[in-house]
Amino acid sequence: IAFSSIEMCQENVFLILLSLILFQQNADTFGEAAAVTKAINGEKAILGCTPTLRSFSVKIKHDLESNELVGLTGDHKALGSWKLDGAVELQRKNDSNNEWSANVMMQSCDRISYRYFTYVKDQSDQKHIRLWESYLKPRTIDGCLTNCRHMDVFGESSNGEVQLNRGWITNEVVFQFKFEREHMFQVHDIEKFDPENVLINLVPLEEDLKTPMDILLKAVNVEVVKMSNGESLLQKQTSKGVTHKRNEVVIFHVTVPNTLSPSFALDFHTADGKSMGTTVIEFSQLTGSEGELELRINDEAQTTVIARLKLPYLVVKPFSQVNILDFRTTYAHYWPKTWPILDVGHRGNGKSYIVNPPEERENTMASFLKAYEVFADMIELDVHLTSDGVPVIYHDFGLRTAPHGKEVTDVSQLEYVLIKDITYSELCALRVFAVINNEIKEYPSHNAEPIKERRIFPRLVEVLEALPKTLGIDVEIKWPQRRKCGGVEAEQTIDKNFFIDRVLEIIITKGCGRPLIFSSFDADICTMVRFKQNVFPVMFLSMGETKKWEPFLDLRTRTFQQAVNNAQAFELAGTAPHAEDFIANDSAAGMMKRARSLGQIALVWGDDCNSKEAVKYFQEIGATATCYDRSDLYMPENKERSFFNSSLSLEEFQGQCRPN
């Protein structure tokens, strides 16, 4: 084995010796490294694979910040084996800001898979991913001995498609400050503070709460999105600030190294730059995963309160097992256009606690398998967390129960117990009641049901292990929502980051190798799942413009377009809109088309889907999938199998799983 394309001149003898040492460190055995022989006077002694400096070059078509770097990772040890910490740092070529390169010692015959990414380093030398090449299959380069140089274009695949996404969070925390409600301000002096004529800047502060932080030095990234149809993109905050008016959604998205504890100022000014006022958010106020800040906006002299602001916030922390994530692949936007419109079984084969329910109880193994038996492509299930941290499948936030041995003759004798307040073993022992048409009905508890597949409250891990991998799963994460006119669906005291981490731990280890997507009515849950991991897609469930229920407080949930905007802003796979948005709507097909033009999927759900005619209608207007009850009654008659029921499908999703 010999080096090739390296002149044996005096000035680079040191480089070659160093390369030999590096190669020995990366070789599988000492003997492999010792097999290297020198090429003298241009003569090559090629006895097989040749250790050589492989050249990687990439052109960046967008402007980089002064602190941004370009990284290279791949399936070779010398490229970091897909891990962030071991990735190769590229160097600018000829002081150019847009061409970067690196030479890496590896075998000339190796076929290499690799990706590029941009990142910054903080003051602790931690790396923070900004953008990465996120197509399903990485770049590949075959073995090469000579003339191995090639210029890649960042984010551009071999077919010319460009796909770049923000990274998942690793060594950082995301803070979001959300203007996402109808009424944000209480104004004391309209002459000094006009909420309909305001621009807002968010400024990270040093510990003295006065000095603006050097965000480039500290590797802090301040972005903002103003939700606007088709243009809802997170962008760098400008010095001018962002406008905000009533009923507009504006979200500040700040990525901060986890070594910092920043405070923030919100500066308010007019379009001509005149200061209106300011308020400070101290780090100590940002407790837990979410909350609502009650802030006083003081005038420029800091002597008078001119307005008050109720500002919701979100804190997204890295996944508790973030080290199992890497650059190897992502299915976060994987939904090929060649797929048919999918049939999704709602809670399996449909709702149970109604008049004329299906035989199988909802959200049980029996119900999921029944839907699969009649060719559902996916099933939808609902996930809660018990007080001892067990992800469990059930729809409602709680259940009606009564002590064992007590005869129940009146609704007032029933107690409502929230799942989050009891352990899994306690939940399995509870009696279960429902009130249907004013009639009290008792159902078998988990422990009283002898047939495992029929038991209520299956654990998420049990479902993932038992269901065939050729059955797709829509994992809806349940989180109570605040209502427009006051009140909340249910109390929730479990920390949101902890909740999501417990679900992710199970999904990433047990849910891989199958079509699986996350969904939630909680926009912040969707944001969390999106930024905590890079493997599975996420879609935002929305209630839309409905007359069936009271709207939620968050404006993002109220219309299909706002849901689409939110999905675009935070790089979700798409939305799960309510069917009512499209019934008797001449614009229905156009609405779907606009979502598709943004690369989004749309899974329609709701009681209005529950007929063969409705299923056909949603197929015709371009829905990506339809989620409905009673797959056994409403499945298209010409369907012969579930779409994913093939060995090819199993191979297609195997990349989700970590190599052994």
The whole-angstrom separation of Cα 143 and Cα 145 is 7
* Dihedrals phi, psi of 506, to nearest 5 degrees: -80, -45
Q: Is 307 found in the same domain as 262?
A: yes
Residue with the two structure tokens 């422990």: 447
Q: Is residue 137 part of a domain?
A: no
pLDDT, residue 1, reads 31
- The tally of domains found in the chain comes to 3
| CA 230 – CA 227 distance, rounded (Å) | 9
Nearest to 1 by CA among 412, 533, 27: 27
Residues 6+ apart with CB under 8 A from 25: none
The reply to whether 615 and 471 lie within a common domain is: yes
Average pLDDT of span 353-374: 98
pLDDT above 90 covers a percentage of the chain that reads 84
- Classify residue 289: in a domain, yes or no: yes
Q: Is residue 478 part of a domain?
A: yes
Mean pLDDT, residues 364-369? 99
Q: How confident is the model at residue 451 (pLDDT cuts 50, 70, 90)?
A: very high
Does pLDDT of 176 surpass 50?
yes
| Better pLDDT: 328 or 649 | 328
- 264-286 per-position pLDDT tens digit: 999 999 998 899 999 999 999 99
- Supply the DSSP string of 63-102, one letter for each residue: PPPTT-EEEEEESSGGGTTT-STTPEEPEESTT-SSEEEE
Q: Under DSSP, is residue 516 helix (H, G, I), strand (E, B) or coil?
A: strand
Q: Report the chain's mean pLDDT, rounded to a whole number.
A: 91
Is 600 part of any domain?
yes
Whether residue 392 sits in one domain with residue 308: no
Mean of pLDDT values over 154-162: 89
With contact defined as beta carbons under 8 Å apart, do 72 and 87 qualify?
yes
Q: How far is CA 431 from CA 67, 354, 364, 416, in A?
A: 60, 18, 16, 11
Using only the alpha carbons of the chain, give its radius of gyration. Answer: 28
Residue 251 maps to which CATH number? 2.60.40
- Decide if 178 is inside a domain: yes
Q: Are residues 475 and 609 in the same domain?
A: yes
403 within domain boundaries:
yes
Please give the pLDDT value at position 31: 33
* pLDDT of the residue at 107: 85
The band of 357, judged by pLDDT with boundaries at 50, 70 and 90, is: very high
Residue 25 CB burial class (10 angstroms; 0-12, 13-18, ≥19): exposed
Q: Are residues 249 and 388 in the same domain?
A: no
Q: What is the mean pLDDT of residues 102-116?
A: 91
Domain hosting 61: range is 10-121
Give pLDDT, residue 13.
Answer: 39
457-468 pLDDT, tens digit per residue, is 999 999 999 999
| Average pLDDT, integer, range 400-423 | 98
Write out the two tokens for 1: 């084995």
pLDDT in tens, 27-50: 443 333 333 333 333 333 344 688
- Range of lowest pLDDT (37-46, 214-223, 360-369, 554-563): 37-46
In this structure, are 388 and 464 located in the same domain?
yes
| Pairing of β 112-121 and β 127-133 | antiparallel
Whole-prediction pTM: 0.91
User: What gap in Å lies between CA 241 and CA 437, rounded to an integer?
Assistant: 55
